[in-house]
Amino acid sequence: MNPSALNSALAERYSVEREIGRGGMATVFLAHDLRIDRQVALKILHPELAGAIGVDRFAREVRTMAKLTHPNIVPVIESGVLTTSDGRLPWYTMPYIAGESLRARLEREPQLPIEFALRVTEQLASALGAAHRLGIVHRDIKPENVILTDSAVYVVDFGISKALIDTGDERLTSTGLAIGTPAYMSPEQASAGAVDARTDQYSLACVLYEMLCGEPPFTGPTAAAIIARRFAEAPRPVRTVRSTIPVAVERATLRALERVPADRFSSVSEFVTALRSTNAAESARKPLSRLASSVAVLGVLAASFIGVWLLSRPRVARSAAPRDPQIVALYQRGVRGYTRRTPDGVREAIAAFSAVLARDSNYADAWNGLAKTYLRAQRRQFTLPGITNDEMLRRALTASDRATAIDSASSDAWLTRALVSVTIDPTQVRGAIQGTERAIALDSGNAEAWHQLANSRLQLGEADQALATWRESVRRKPTYTEGLAFMALAHYWHRQFDSASHWADSAVTVDDSYLLGRTTAGYIAVERGEYAKATAELDAALRVVSDVEVANVLAARALVEARQGARVRAKATLHQADSIGLHYTPANAHTAVYLAQGYAAAAQPDSAIRWLERYSPVEDLHFQTHLRCDPPFDPIRRDRRFQALLRRPPRLQGTGC
């Protein structure tokens, strides 16, 4: 409909000047209100949308939104229905704001200053809070519905989505219009669930995320792809994109982006208060050591847990009825995610196991899988939105206890209890050995139990026995990728690089996206002088990593570059890895080890030692294994500072551990 036709239809009220915008719902015109002499924005719904709703009721619903007044809300002034050649078209007017949309600003400047983004979020939250107190949910918070001026921030189109839903019928879906915008739509809204104020909170967090990171938390080529990612993945932490973002801002944003509404803040006001909180920043600046923190939080619980584990008699497992194939498929998806050993894999595994347990809370294997996954996330310091490192350990402990309570004859459940034990106190493994031996007694074909027993033996300094035990692991299950990778590592630690290469290649052959297989193959190729192969393996690894693992693989790349004599390039790569690794406090054991090895190869021993000294507790037996056994430490092995970190010296210089 052109301005001249509108002027004929609205001659007594408005003088329509020109079209100023066109969106998914309506065409927007700049008009002059003849009665009160001011400019307004006149919005007219598209004919195909108007045909799918009750237009008269829509106009009435929109008029009720005129009661909503707030300094940051652009109110509806008037609404009505036009009779045109296209049918009856609802329209409404709002004051014209001479500014620009947040979308226009983001198109010019994808990442906005942090303080500016927070001020915008606070004003939006103030507007939303006022609406929520009246029981009104916007349902379509996005940059296009935010107007910026020199003095204020405004929200537009309040209540329009609700009016569409309340007056539409099944024909509404045929228009192709989603009520809400996929990139900013909450999971419950995307799945046609009940919405409330927390739905707007989620969308507001998406807008803040985009202002900080340059894109929404989930993107994709289609609306369906975006929504699928929202259910399958966790958003990437904002500090991995911009390290200058305060810890409190990251934590509050990720909590507001939780899939489950109950896990978000109770209100948008609480959300914006958390954005300015100093508690998260203080805790990040003054971390407890991993050991001290775990003992302080879990000491009493852990003691009773281990005591019950060692002294209790196994109960007979409950008989299992045939399971729903969909639940089994979800469980297998969780296993695949866990096996990948990547942050994304861990998050996928937690989502899958949790979905299984929501349908069947007596699925012991799913509880056990959830426990192992939380342990992996905690030990490798993967980021799980809204969950601290200690909370991961508590959840692992709880899930492990549920698994053995349901099926005390499960070999896997007892193996997981052993892993919990060594995670609570990484300075001793006797309890873990007892647990793995019990798991093997229950099922001698449990390849992972043999693998963990080998790991414990190596940490006790029993390298030859460990190699034999890993051999037993892959004999029991020749396609067990972790066992194959550790067979490679065992030969690598023995300086038997040709045999190590064979086993690493076997792991990659079984699963070419397996991170540990790729990185192990890369490290072994370095020691064989096969730098092209090492680079290829690490490049492949980089394509499947995220979070802290990016720093670890980059450190390995720097090792290759330094060994090739390209020290300038190695130092640049180390700087990149270093900047990522420093985001994780306390330091991750593998990050400290791999960065130290890169710096050692680049002839920067002070930086190497500094990274090793960042890790605590230094008595962690797995950390000690790397110090004793890893060949890349040879350049600094005689450094007195390095030797001071060792709790037991290597067997012989240059012969492995």
Q: Which residues are catalytic?
A: 140
**Residues in CB range of 306: below 8 A, 6 or more apart:** 421, 424, 431
- Please give the Cα distance from 386 to 380 (Å, whole number): 17
Q: What is the DSSP letter of 564?
A: T
What phi and psi, each to the nearest 5 degrees, are found at residue 264? -85, -175
**Of the candidates 341, 233, 238, the residue with the CA atom closest to the CA atom of residue 583:** 238
**Contact (Cβ atoms closer than 8 angstroms) between residue 34 and residue 13:** yes
CA distances from 603 to 73, 107, 567, 568 (A): 60, 44, 9, 11
CA distances from 326 to 330, 331, 356 (A): 6, 9, 9
Count CB-CB contacts under 10 A for residue 62.
25
| Token output for 256 | 């507001």
- Please give the Cα distance from 167 to 62 (Å, whole number): 11
Measured torsion, CA atoms of residues 276, 282, 284, 286, in degrees rounded to the nearest 10: 180
**Residues in CB range of 321: below 8 A, 6 or more apart:** none
Own/partner pairs, 44-47, CB within 8 angstroms, 24+ separation = 44/1, 44/6, 44/82, 44/89, 44/90, 44/91, 45/89, 45/90, 45/91, 47/86, 47/87, 47/89
**Contact (Cβ atoms closer than 8 angstroms) between residue 472 and residue 480:** no
Q: What is the DSSP letter of 17?
A: E
CA distances from 216 to 101, 211, 226, 437 (A): 16, 8, 10, 48
The DSSP element (H or E) to which 450 belongs, if any, is: helix 447-459
The DSSP element (H or E) to which 622 belongs, if any, is: helix 621-629
Give 105's strand partners. Answer: none
Asked if residue 586 has a cis previous peptide bond (ω within 30° of 0), the answer is yes
Q: Tell me how many helices (H) and strands (E) the chain has.
A: 31, 8
Name the pairing type of β-strands 153-155 and 38-45: unpaired
Collapse the DSSP code of 53 into the 3-class scheme (helix H, G, I; strand E, B; otherwise coil) and give the result: strand
Count CB-CB contacts under 10 A for residue 210.
24
Count CB-CB contacts under 10 A for residue 481.
22
